[in-house]
Amino acid sequence: MKNVYVIGVFDLFHFGHVELLRRAKELGDRLIVAINGDEMVASYKRRPFLSEQDRLEVVKACRYVDDAFIIHEYDNKEYIKKYDIDIIVHGDDWDGEGYLKQIRVTPEFLEEHHVSMVYLPYTKGISTSELVEKIKASK
C-alpha cells in the first residue's frame, strides 16, 4: 500500500486543485491531504477567503482524496510518520529546498523514512491568485 501526501491551502477550490489531487492519487493507493489552517496561511500569504473547515469539507468531497485534515503548524514530520507516507506531492511552483523548509522536513528525514518528493507541473491557465485578480477586476 503506497500512501501519498499533499499539503496545501486549497482556497477557492478549482480545476487546478482537482488536477493536482488526481495526478497525486495516480502515484499511490491512498491520498492523504493536509489543509493548512487559516492562521498559518495568513502568516505567510493572505487570509484564505474560505474558512479552514469549508476548505476541508470541499477537499474531503473530492473523489481522489481518501483522508484529509487541518494542520496548524508548519512541521509535517508527525503526520508523515502517522500516515506512513511514501510520497509527498506538490506543484512545481516551489523549488525543492524552499518547499522542504516550508514543511520543516529535511532530505535526511525523507531518506530515513523512505519518503520521496514529486513535484507535478502546475496546471496551466488557472490558479487561485489568477482567480482573485479576476474577481478584483470584475468590480
pLDDT digits (tens, 9 = 90+) for 77-97: 999 999 999 999 998 877 678
pLDDT tens digits for range 58-72: 999 999 999 999 999
Nearest alpha-carbon partner for 120 in 2, 12, 27: 27
In terms of residue numbers, what domain contains 27? 3-138
CATH number of the domain within which 87 lies: 3.40.50.620
Provide the whole-model pTM: 0.90
Q: Into how many domains does the chain fold? A: 1
**Residue 117 burial (CB < 10 Å; 0-12/13-18/19+)?**
middle
